[in-house]
């Protein structure tokens, strides 16, 4: 039986591709449009939300990914500042300036690194990785093996892939299987 | 298969999108004053043109935004893409 809460994902290395489960991450989805929203988020996170399509911004604490013109995803390690969600929620959601949702349980982060990762992803995705692979910091939402994913090019040849928990084991198996053919 | 230029994300494969049917259909202001036929006309009847068609598309597996597309259904050529709420380009009929 598929255990969606604890998908069987183990660390694996094949053909210069490392696949690791990166479970200890907090992910927060934030949405908003007005000036007050941008000011408040900027103040709380000390980071400017990326306004350019398919980019991200980072500081020593957080990574923020552009998802759509009024939607972003923040993610960071569990052991970092843990009350950031409460702070954002209190100053933004409760005042109707925007909307803040903790999606840590919804998504799983799988880290993929190595020289051949873009060939691996391309083999099951309609996305054109040409620009993405040359630009550290790029982010995108697309399909991999028909499954919705959020990709973040964290550092050279190192990508954090976010996928819905219930799809993660299946996608992981596809990644492991497909890395045999790269 | 064809490429669609999402007004927010840029050029992406068609498989990332879902079609939302004909664009620029306006909901009647007073539905209660319409006859059944008029209501059915608004609700169900859609053009199915061989040629230039105005359509709504959703970038379902990307930014999840809706936008409009002018597409020639005979060859899948996309002639124009514009955001929701914007006026359709005048040079197509
Ligand atoms: Zn888009």
Structure tokens at A172: 């992981």
Domain residue extents for chain B: 3-92
Average pLDDT over residues B43-51: 93
Q: Assign B22 to helix, strand or coil.
A: strand
CA-CA distance, A129 to A85, in Å (whole number)? 32
User: What ipTM describes this predicted complex?
Assistant: 0.90
Report, as ranges of residue numbers, the positions in chain A whose pLDDT lies below 70.
Answer: 1-2, 4, 81-82
Global pTM reads 0.92
What DSSP state is assigned to residue B64?
-
Contacting residues for A174 by C-beta, under 8 A, at least 6 apart: A124, A144, A145
Tell me what pLDDT residue A81 has. Answer: 63
Tell me what pLDDT residue A1 has. Answer: 57
pLDDT averaged over every residue in chain B:
93
The pLDDT confidence band at residue B93, using thresholds 50, 70 and 90, is low
| Side-chain-side CA neighbours of residue A87 (13 Å) | 11
| Closest to A57 in 3D by CA, of A152, A157, A166, A162 | A152
Tell me what pLDDT residue A2 has. Answer: 61
Tell me what pLDDT residue A5 has. Answer: 72
Tell me what pLDDT residue A162 has. Answer: 98
Residues of A whose CB is below 8 A from B10: 53-54
Which tens digit of pLDDT belongs to each residue from A147-178? 999 999 999 999 999 999 999 999 999 999 99
Residue B10 touches chain A, beta carbons under 8 Å: yes
Count the neighbouring beta carbons within 10 Å of the beta carbon of residue A160.
21
CA-CA distance, A53 to A64, in Å (whole number)? 13
- Residue A94, H or E segment: none
Q: Is A15 exposed, middle or buried (0-12, 13-18, 19+ CB in 10 A)?
A: middle
Count of residues making up chain A: 182
Chain A, residues 131-150, CB within 8 A of chain B, namely 140-143, 148
More confidently predicted of B7 and A81: B7
Mutation for testing the A interface, residue in B63, B64, B84, B85 having most A CBs under 10 Å = B63
pLDDT at B60 over 70: yes
Tell me what pLDDT residue A6 has. Answer: 79
- Residue B46, H or E segment: none
State in Å: Cα B20 to ligand 1 middle: 15
- Give the architecture (CATH level 2) of B3-92: 2-Layer Sandwich (3.30)
More confidently predicted of B27 and B93: B27
């Amino acid at each position: 039986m598929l255990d969606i809460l604890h998908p069987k994902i183990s660390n694996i290395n094949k053909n210069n591709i490392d696949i690791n489960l990166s479970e200890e991450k907090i992910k927060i989805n934030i949405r908003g449009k007005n000036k007050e929203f941008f000011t408040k988020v900027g103040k709380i996170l000390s980071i400017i939300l990326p306004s350019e399509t398919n980019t991200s911004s980072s500081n020593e604490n957080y990574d923020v990914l552009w998802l759509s013109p009024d939607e972003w995803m923040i993610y960071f390690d569990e052991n970092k500042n843990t009350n950031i969600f409460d702070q954002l929620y209190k100053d933004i959601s409760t005042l109707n300036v925007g909307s803040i949702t903790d999606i840590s349980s919804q998504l799983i982060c799988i880290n993929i690194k190595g020289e051949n990762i873009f060939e691996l992803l391309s083999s099951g995705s309609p996305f054109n990785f040409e620009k993405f692979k040359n630009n550290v910091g790029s982010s995108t939402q697309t399909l991999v093996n028909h499954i919705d994913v959020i990709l973040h090019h964290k550092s050279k040849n190192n990508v954090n892939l976010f996928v819905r928990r219930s799809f993660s084991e299946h996608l992981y198996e596809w990644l492991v299987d497909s890395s045999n053919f790269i | 298969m064809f490429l669609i230029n999402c007004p927010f994300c840029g050029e992406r494969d068609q498989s990332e999108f879902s079609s939302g049917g004909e664009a620029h259909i306006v909901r009647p202001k007073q539905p209660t004053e319409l006859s059944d036929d008029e209501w059915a006309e608004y609700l169900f009847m859609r053009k199915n043109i061989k040629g230039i068609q105005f359509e709504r598309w959703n970038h379902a597996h990307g930014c999840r935004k809706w936008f409009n597309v002018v597409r020639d259904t005979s060859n899948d050529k996309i002639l124009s893409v514009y955001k929701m709420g914007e006026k359709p380009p005048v040079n197509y009929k």
